[in-house]
Chains A and B, each alone.
Chain A
């Protein structure tokens, strides 16, 4: 089973929920993999403190033009939707950062002048954090496109019984890539106007993807009161509530999981895991 942890707004507690879920699941004897798909700013490693066993580069395919064979027909520039390859007078220029790796240019080139080669855009790291299998992707700084790195992280998911995907914030392509194929999505939110507004966007997103989901209300007590009635009206189940606890915030600041800092939270996250396992009907 694959569970994705997402949120519209950043900083609502995705990593807190994901790492603690991995922790309680591992303690219950399940084989667990934690996949950090927030490849722009991965933070799960700060809490799980894994030993990294393997590192490999993640590439994206870009075209290389053989000037000898090229007839300057310009078809490659015609098919490319991203302006990543253009004919300028007598030469053909490639802009690797704009390339999405669709392969259109090499397919369309009648002269067979275009081959594809892999360009490194990030790193995939795998290892173990105790009983938890740990995987994270790291997008190279300056690279714009994270989805290929997220795909690489997700491609390692197969063997574990329970796969926990820590998604990036937002609702656009990187998030879609991270939650795609999940059996259940946990949306983490907080009771503030920003948290509530972005939760509604995240709900629209998971509904468009037709994925079953539920909500975790974090920092309950902050003051906003709109989220609960909204969830009731929308028939969205609130899977768990986490109080606004300064001790948790302090533990978080030091890279300590809630369950390690305050063992009484084990029950809370175990309850959440059960709610997720039982809650696969569409929200």
Chain B
């Protein structure tokens, strides 16, 4: 089985639109939306949820006001500025300490060292994940809780579930929609995959971010391709970007032209290749053919 992951470095370059079209074009694939803190793929694929589960990325501390003596040890030890002296009073103390659940990093140091055993430390729900069916095949997706931590763990979970589903249904490809950046959720999305497709745009920001994201995939030893989206917004920079990509060992694949149909398709809840056969949709079809050929050669032992 192959895992293809689509990332971008810079946000908003068109990852999810490309993945939605790949979903429509790939015949035997499981889709995994690993952009867990701003997932959008479901807006196009309109999944029917078959199974749902909660996810806990770690534990969280909570001070029981009735037991707090206000000694302040927890505040002293917390390195994440998560403890405040503004909790409710309890008869003995006018005020108690309180944990800000958003700032809490879940390290448990406060609970461990509280002499009064006044701090609860228990697994906290930090998101939900779903196994769904879409018109283009099964999909695993998730929603990280508001202001929650540990998106990397949730990304790993989504990937594992997607692979399990692929094995179960005899499908040989998982297409992963990644998140922007180069940090923990991106590392979790790309580690151990077979092929990375970076979707970028012809801007200095796109160029700068491609270099950093390519360094990341090289660090993890993953074969990487780049596609310049909206290439005709700046043809000169597109050429520079592609030349730079080749210098740093990133394969260049089919450019995609700027096309208002991309937004129109999104508004209509369709993948671009479902919406039209012309313009950028042509480029995306060609892109898919190229990428799937590369996938086949990246792993000669894969079924296909």
Contacts and interface: CB of A to CB of B under 8 A. Distances in A.
Contact of A79 (B80, B108, B201): B108
Contacts of B8: 10
Interface stretch (B167-175, B209-217, B242-250, B287-295): B209-217
A170 interface: yes
Contacts of B234: 250, 253-254
Contacts of A250: 233-234
A210 to B, nearest CB: 10
Interface residues of A, number: 57
Interface string A244-263: 00100110111100000000
A236 interface: no
Contacts of B220: 142
Contacts of A142: 187, 216, 219-220
A103 B112 CA distance: 12
Interface size class, chain B: 35 or more
B251 interface: no
Contacts of B212: 40-41, 141
A278 to B, nearest CB: 27
Interface string A1-30: 000000011111001000000000000000
A40 B215 CA distance: 12
B208 interface: yes
Contacts of B260: 223
Interface in B86-121: 102-103, 105-109, 112-113
Interface string B239-264: 00000000000000000000010011
A64 to B, nearest CB: 17
Contacts of B16: 194
Nearest to A40: B181
Central interface residue in B37, B112, B113, B269, by most chain A CB within 10 Å: B37
Contacts of B48: none
Contacts of B149: 172-173
B180 interface: yes
A208 interface: yes
A204 B102 CA distance: 13
